[in-house]
């Protein structure tokens, strides 16, 4: 392709040169040309390219544009020599024929180059099942070059919207009311529609990120489009979790703290004397927020150097957090426990399901074994995904081990895609907390991380934001003292409430009146 374009370029230059000389034929007097080139370009093009025929070029420094570097040039043909030689092409008829041949050649060259460009496209079935041309490029897949199409190009031919979350590495294409979700470096995708079932698919090669753009291989793109157009999505009777196995123990009866408030669209004068204040609360389409205080009873969690138990810190912060959040959020607030009782991880998940949580937040205090445990410091916020580092893997083990979808009878492929779908909102909520909490309680920010905590299982299958907050290191004597201080715990609870309120405001901005939020 490159050699073809080079030959065409040389040929066009030769034709242009001969046409120009033909126009100069017979001229012995100086001619003046107002050049569109700079002086340097003019000299190079006229003097060097045609110096065998043109004997001298004299450039004057008279400015004729607003930019001094553009000059007026005077070209003088001193000797005509070859120009005066007899030739068919030097006659008027010959000159006309030469022009016709030249223009025809240029048109042919353009057609050749255009067909070469078209060879790098592929016909794909886009919006309305019409055929569209999509650009094809070569990108590296696992070190080997393969033909691929940009996912943004797929969004274009589907006449839909394209979005990319760089932090979560998720690409979303929305068209015809359906959303296709791809995970960078993964060989799978999911097609879904709000309130409908979802289907999963695989690509022959993982989706790759190359030079800032996401690509799908040329074989998989046709498979994906066929599935997208033919996707038979059925209405769900309720949340997705109703169609998935979820362990429920009938005798599990965790208590709730009476922090709930009435929904704005169901006024209750007997319980609220200030309905106007109630209506001003945030995100009325978020009906239920579950706060989980980690550990309890015979499970003390981590124990600090001075004997402070994690279960007590978690419970106190969770109760205060719930009370502060109830003043800001329109939905009801539920606690998995408000006393020192033990709940298994499955019971906590069942609690979230029973109360149809729209947001799930689990409160914990961090710990690390000696010798690093005494110096480790700061807050962390987790969302459900593959462990982000070795500390995340350790945290998984400390909190009951990683969740195994196979053990719960869930297809691993479907599970991975549900995780990918849940990551976006959980990630936003996690960052909202981590942006505010550390500065408010005077601890370092250790960042947002990912781990497969069992307690966040419901959040994934029900596609709701779910996070786990590590308040600080109880194994660090200095931070243990903070965690033991009632006033500090209240500040932590207020900061958590403010962070969640910021997230709810963001939801209101992205989903006005809750339109499109349905989970």
| Residue 277: count of CB within 10 angstroms of its CB | 10
pLDDT of 264: 35
Shared domain check, 283 and 174: no
pLDDT of 239: 40
- Please indicate, yes or no, if residue 519 is contained in any of the structural domains: no
Which of 56, 84, 118 corresponds to the end of one domain? 118
Give percent above pLDDT 70 in the chain: 59
Shared domain check, 58 and 191: no
Higher per-residue pLDDT: 448 or 114: 448
The count of C-alpha atoms lying within 13 angstroms of the C-alpha of 45, restricted to the half-sphere facing its C-beta, is: 16
pLDDT of 189: 81
- Please indicate, yes or no, if residue 242 is contained in any of the structural domains: no
Q: Which segments within 85-222 are labelled E, that is strand?
A: 121-125, 131-135, 137-141, 144-150, 161-165, 170-175, 178-183, 188-192, 199-202, 208-210, 213-217
For residue 56, what pLDDT band results from cuts at 50, 70 and 90? Answer: very low
Shared domain check, 105 and 148: no
| 16 pLDDT above the threshold of 80 | no
pTM of the predicted model as reported, rounded to 2 decimal places: 0.51
Residue 296, Cα to own-chain centre: how many angstroms? 38
CATH number for the domain including 128? 3.30.457.10
Shared domain check, 262 and 372: yes
- Per-residue pLDDT tens digits for 404-448: 655 655 555 445 555 655 677 888 999 999 999 999 999 999 988
Are residues 399 and 470 in contact, defined by beta-carbon separation less than 8 angstroms?
A: no
Which of 98, 118, 138 corresponds to the end of one domain? 118
- Per-residue pLDDT tens digits for 225-254: 988 988 877 664 444 333 333 333 333 344
- Please indicate, yes or no, if residue 328 is contained in any of the structural domains: yes
pLDDT of 129: 86
| 345 pLDDT above the threshold of 90 | no
Shared domain check, 483 and 353: yes
| 392 pLDDT above the threshold of 80 | no
pLDDT of 251: 37
pLDDT of 499: 97
Shared domain check, 265 and 384: yes
Which one, of 340, 331, 380, 353, lies nearest residue 458 by Cα? 353
- Please indicate, yes or no, if residue 329 is contained in any of the structural domains: yes
| Residue 260 to residue 213: CA distance in whole angstroms | 46
Q: What burial class does residue 76 get, using C-beta atoms within 10 Å of its C-beta: 0-12 exposed, 13-18 middle, 19+ buried?
A: middle
- Please indicate, yes or no, if residue 208 is contained in any of the structural domains: yes
Shared domain check, 132 and 114: no
What mean pLDDT is reported for the chain? 73
Reading the block at residue 416, the tokens are: 């991975």
| 481 pLDDT above the threshold of 90 | yes
Shared domain check, 266 and 190: no
Q: What burial class does residue 456 get, using C-beta atoms within 10 Å of its C-beta: 0-12 exposed, 13-18 middle, 19+ buried?
A: buried
Residue 138 gets which letter from DSSP? E
| 78 pLDDT above the threshold of 60 | no
Are residues 39 and 73 in contact, defined by beta-carbon separation less than 8 angstroms?
A: yes
Shared domain check, 76 and 127: no
- Please indicate, yes or no, if residue 22 is contained in any of the structural domains: yes
Name the least confident of 159-173, 310-324, 331-345.
159-173
Higher per-residue pLDDT: 93 or 315: 315
| Residue 141 to residue 205: CA distance in whole angstroms | 7
CATH number for the domain including 259? 3.40.630.40
| 325 pLDDT above the threshold of 90 | yes
Shared domain check, 81 and 22: yes
Higher per-residue pLDDT: 292 or 450: 292
Residue 313 sits at φ, ψ, to 5 deg, of -65, -45
pLDDT of 407: 63
| Residue 37 to residue 45: CA distance in whole angstroms | 9
Shared domain check, 140 and 91: no
Higher per-residue pLDDT: 386 or 142: 142
- Per-residue pLDDT tens digits for 262-295: 323 333 323 232 333 345 799 999 999 999 999 9
| 332 pLDDT above the threshold of 50 | yes
- Residue 376 belongs to what domain range? 248-514
Q: Say how many domains are in the chain.
A: 3
Residue with tokens 């006005």: 512
Residue 339 sits at φ, ψ, to 5 deg, of -140, 175
pLDDT of 120: 81
pLDDT of 83: 42
Which of 230, 265, 287 corresponds to the end of one domain? 230
- Please indicate, yes or no, if residue 238 is contained in any of the structural domains: no
For residue 172, what pLDDT band results from cuts at 50, 70 and 90? Answer: confident
Give 380's contacts (C-beta < 8 A, 6+ positions apart).
366, 434, 446, 447, 448, 449, 469, 470
pLDDT of 46: 47
| 452 pLDDT above the threshold of 80 | no
- Please indicate, yes or no, if residue 241 is contained in any of the structural domains: no
Shared domain check, 298 and 406: yes
For residue 143, what pLDDT band results from cuts at 50, 70 and 90? Answer: confident
| 479 pLDDT above the threshold of 90 | yes
For residue 119, what pLDDT band results from cuts at 50, 70 and 90? Answer: very low
Higher per-residue pLDDT: 142 or 312: 312
Are residues 224 and 158 in contact, defined by beta-carbon separation less than 8 angstroms?
A: no
């Amino acid at each position: 392709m490159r050699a073809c374009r080079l030959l065409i370029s040389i040929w066009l230059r030769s034709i242009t040169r001969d046409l120009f000389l033909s126009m100069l034929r017979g001229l012995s007097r100086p001619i003046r040309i107002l050049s569109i080139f700079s002086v340097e370009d003019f000299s190079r093009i006229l003097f060097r390219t045609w110096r065998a025929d043109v004997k001298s070029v004299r450039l004057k420094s008279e400015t004729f544009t607003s930019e001094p570097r553009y000059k007026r040039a005077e070209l003088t043909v001193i000797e005509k020599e070859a120009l005066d030689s007899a030739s068919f092409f030097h006659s008027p008829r010959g000159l006309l024929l030469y022009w016709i041949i030249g223009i025809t050649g240029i048109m042919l060259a353009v057609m050749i180059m255009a067909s070469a460009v078209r060879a790098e496209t592929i016909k794909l079935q886009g919006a309305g099942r019409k055929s569209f041309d999509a650009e094809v490029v070569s990108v590296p897949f696992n070190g080997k070059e393969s033909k691929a199409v940009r996912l943004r190009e797929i969004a274009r031919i589907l006449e839909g919207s394209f979005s990319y979350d760089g932090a979560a590495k998720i690409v979303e294409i929305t068209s015809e009311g359906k959303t296709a979700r791809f995970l960078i470096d993964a060989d799978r995708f999911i097609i879904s529609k709000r309130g409908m079932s979802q289907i999963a698919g695989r690509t022959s090669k993982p989706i790759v990120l190359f030079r800032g753009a996401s690509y799908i291989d040329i074989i998989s793109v046709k498979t994906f489009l066929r599935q997208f157009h033919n996707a038979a999505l059925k209405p769900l009777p309720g949340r997705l979790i109703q169609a998935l196995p979820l362990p429920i123990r009938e005798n599990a009866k965790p208590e709730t703290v009476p922090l709930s408030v009435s929904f704005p669209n169901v006024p209750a004068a007997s319980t609220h004397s200030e309905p106007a204040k109630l209506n001003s609360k945030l995100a009325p389409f978020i009906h239920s927020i579950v706060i989980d205080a980690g550990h309890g009873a015979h499970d003390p969690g981590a124990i600090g150097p001075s004997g402070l138990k994690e279960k007590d810190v978690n419970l106190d912060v969770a109760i205060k957090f719930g009370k502060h959040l109830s003043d800001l959020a329109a939905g009801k607030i539920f606690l998995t426990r408000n006393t020192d009782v033990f709940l298994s991880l499955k019971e906590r998940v069942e609690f979230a399901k029973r109360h149809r949580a729209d947001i799930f937040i689990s409160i914990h205090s961090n710990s690390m074994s000696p010798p690093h445990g005494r110096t480790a410091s700061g807050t962390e916020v987790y969302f459900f995904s593959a462990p982000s580092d070795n500390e995340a893997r350790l945290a998984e083990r400390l909190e009951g081990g990683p969740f195994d979808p196979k053990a719960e009878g869930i297809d691993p492929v479907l599970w991975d895609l549900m995780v990918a779908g849940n990551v976006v909102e959980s990630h936003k909520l996690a960052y909202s907390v981590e942006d505010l909490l550390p500065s408010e309680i005077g601890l370092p920010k250790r960042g947002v991380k990912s781990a497969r905590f069992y307690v966040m299982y419901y959040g994934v299958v029900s596609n709701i934001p779910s996070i786990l907050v590590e308040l600080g290191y109880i194994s660090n004597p200095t931070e243990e003292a903070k965690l033991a201080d009632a006033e500090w715990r209240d500040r932590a609870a207020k900061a958590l409430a403010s962070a969640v309120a910021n997230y709810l405001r963001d939801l209101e901005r992205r989903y006005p009146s809750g339109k499109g939020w349905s989970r």
